[in-house]
Amino acid sequence: MAFGYHKAMDIQLSHINTLRGVIVAQLLVIGALWYGWETAPQDLTVHLPPDIRAGSSFKASEVPPESVYAFSQYIFQQLNRWEVDGQKEAGQRIYALAPYLTPQFREQLKAEMDLKGRRGEMAGRTRGVTGIPGHEYSPERVRIVGPGAWEVRLDLELMETVDGVVVKRTQAAYPLRVVRYDVDRERNPWGLALDGYSGGPYRLEKEKTK
């Protein structure tokens, strides 16, 4: 009887140890899952190209050239939009779009604004830039120049007026530098910024004035 009792106790103890091992293993798995959840990114930006009818495969962190081009054109148009008076609005535009401009480019734009202001080239002047039909996005318009850096060529028509009279209308190519700029997702969900001109703008056709 004593032998049977001890054998039953050994079996029970072995079973308890097995259960303890299972509990420890579960705790380790739970701890690993918790760590993975805590360290996982809370937000993930995925850049989708405009046309994915033919299918598309890319990494979540990859920025397709179509997105770089769309960002460049949108921000550049907003930057060059003066609806009433460039003397007042140019600075407001730079301030409003600051999250989409690198600090170096912001200072460059401010210097240009101050120079034009002293020359009287902005008071009472409106400005706008629009895309040119037939000059939309194409792969050769976006060139990778380094890790997280691109050169984008925008072909745009710029028009300026004073007192309702067109004083400048020209079609020009604007070579811009774009870089990754993931510093504030709340104010800049693109994670990109204009970093200046990669070359001087050049005219596509003879300037038209009235």
The predicted pLDDT at position 26 comes to 79
Whole-number average pLDDT of the chain: 84
68-116 pLDDT, tens digit each = 999 999 999 999 999 999 999 999 999 999 999 999 999 999 999 999 9
The predicted pLDDT at position 18 comes to 77
51-79 pLDDT, tens digit each = 544 445 555 567 899 999 999 999 999 99
The predicted pLDDT at position 53 comes to 45
- 77, 129 contact by CB (below 8 A): yes
The predicted pLDDT at position 54 comes to 46
Least Cα distance to 196 among 130, 96, 128, 112 occurs for: 112
Least Cα distance to 89 among 59, 129, 49, 123 occurs for: 123
Assigned token pair, 96: 């409003």
Q: Where does the pLDDT of residue 43 fall: very low under 50, low under 70, confident under 90, or very high at 90 and above?
A: low
The dihedrals phi and psi of 165, each to the nearest 5 degrees, come to -105, 130
Query: Is 0.85 topped by the overall pTM?
Result: no
Question: Looking at 21-30, 119-128, 139-148, which range is the least confident one?
Answer: 21-30
Helix count (H) and strand count (E) of the chain? 4, 6
Query: What one-letter code names the amino acid at 181?
Result: Y
